[in-house]
Amino acid sequence: MTPQAYAQQKAAASGSSFYYAFLFLPPPQRAAITAFYAYCREIDDVVDEVHDPAVAQLKLHWWRLQVARCYDTSHGVPEHPALQALQPHLATYGIEAEHLLQIIDGCQMDLEQSRYLDYPGLQRYCHLVAGVVGEVAARIFGQSTAQTTAYAHRLGLALQLTNIIRDVGEDALRGRIYLPVNELQRFEVKAHELLKRGQGAEAGFEARCTALLQFQIARALGVYDEALALLPAADRRAQKPGLMMASIYRRLLQQIATDPLRVLTQRVRLTPLTKFWLAWKVQALGRL
């Protein structure tokens, strides 16, 4: 299997909504974003699939060395097919080593902490695992002004906040709570109630947790609005893939909002047909 085929398979197998946004890109950009996404998935899998933190740390260190080889082949060439697929696109789209390393930094945070005291702390994490991803994606899609980078970072934050809300129950099974501690306290939701996904919770948990999740959803929807307001008109056409993602994830949030407590026990999803329709609408009409 070629590195390019591996990256394509990795992106498609993830079942991510991002894949639908890639379908409408010209081949060179589609190849670049697919390879970049495959790299991001590989890094994310280290944290999700390796249960021994020490082993995960070693794997992330190995990935750092692989990234270095992409930019300085005197130390050898990248061994992993995801980076082999990405390497030819690095100079073309201005993807710097720091971008790739910051994504590793973000995943390393998952090994070192499972709580965030407040929203600014959570934003730092989101910047590394999603804002940087948005910046690189925007470069691949095509941008003519630095203002588009600000939009991409804000959109990355909105997408990651959506992931966090959707995955509250799944993260609890891993012993993780990404919702800020001071906001749990504000809505009087105990950490142990979330970790047990509401089982055996104290009286009034459903009302308290619903209010907490509604607050998270409202904030995330507001961040989407902030991101879209930052996108310069000159780059709106080129950035359609990001707008597709905003449309799909915003619709997902709206679906979660109809019954927020579902996220504790199930993964709320949109159908593939709905995702494709939302992506096509942006492609055809240029709006969400």
Average pLDDT by consecutive 10-residue portion of the chain (288 residues)?
A: 90 73 88 94 89 91 95 85 95 96 94 91 95 96 94 97 96 93 96 89 92 98 97 94 94 97 94 91 79
**SS3 (DSSP) at 48:** helix
CA-based nearest residue to 248, from 276, 217, 216: 276
Crossing angle of helices 97-112 and 27-49, rounded to 10° = 20
Please tell me the predicted confidence (pLDDT) of residue 23: 81
**123 token code pair:** 């934003």
> Rounded to an integer, what distance in angstroms lies between the CA atom of residue 54 and that of residue 31?
33
Q: Match 């009034």 to its residue by tokens.
A: 204
Q: Match 């990256």 to its residue by tokens.
A: 7
**160 token code pair:** 């990651």
> Rounded to an integer, what distance in angstroms lies between the CA atom of residue 43 and that of residue 91?
21
Degrees, nearest 5: CA angle 283-287-288: 100
Question: What are the residue ranges spanned by the domains of the chain?
Answer: 1-10+18-112, 114-287
Given the candidates 1.10.600.10, 3.80.10.10, 3.30.200.20, 1.20.1560.10, the CATH classification of the domain at 114-287 is 1.10.600.10
How far from chain centre, in Å, is Cα 255?
19
Helix (H) or strand (E) run with residue 95 in it: none
Q: Match 């980078």 to its residue by tokens.
A: 149
**SS3 (DSSP) at 207:** helix
181 close to 115: Cβ distance less than 8 angstroms: yes
CA-based nearest residue to 64, from 51, 75, 53: 75
CA-based nearest residue to 269, from 288, 286, 256: 256
Q: What share of the chain is helix, strand, coil (3-state, %, to 5)?
A: 75, 0, 25
Please tell me the predicted confidence (pLDDT) of residue 15: 63
Please tell me the predicted confidence (pLDDT) of residue 72: 87
**85 token code pair:** 């697929």
Alpha carbon distances (Å) from 144 to 148, 205, 230, 252: 8, 49, 14, 30
The conformation of residue 128, written as its DSSP 8-state character, comes to I
The conformation of residue 266, written as its DSSP 8-state character, comes to S
The conformation of residue 129, written as its DSSP 8-state character, comes to I
> Rounded to an integer, what distance in angstroms lies between the CA atom of residue 214 and that of residue 263?
12
CA-based nearest residue to 90, from 78, 104, 105, 76: 78
> Rounded to an integer, what distance in angstroms lies between the CA atom of residue 250 and that of residue 252?
5
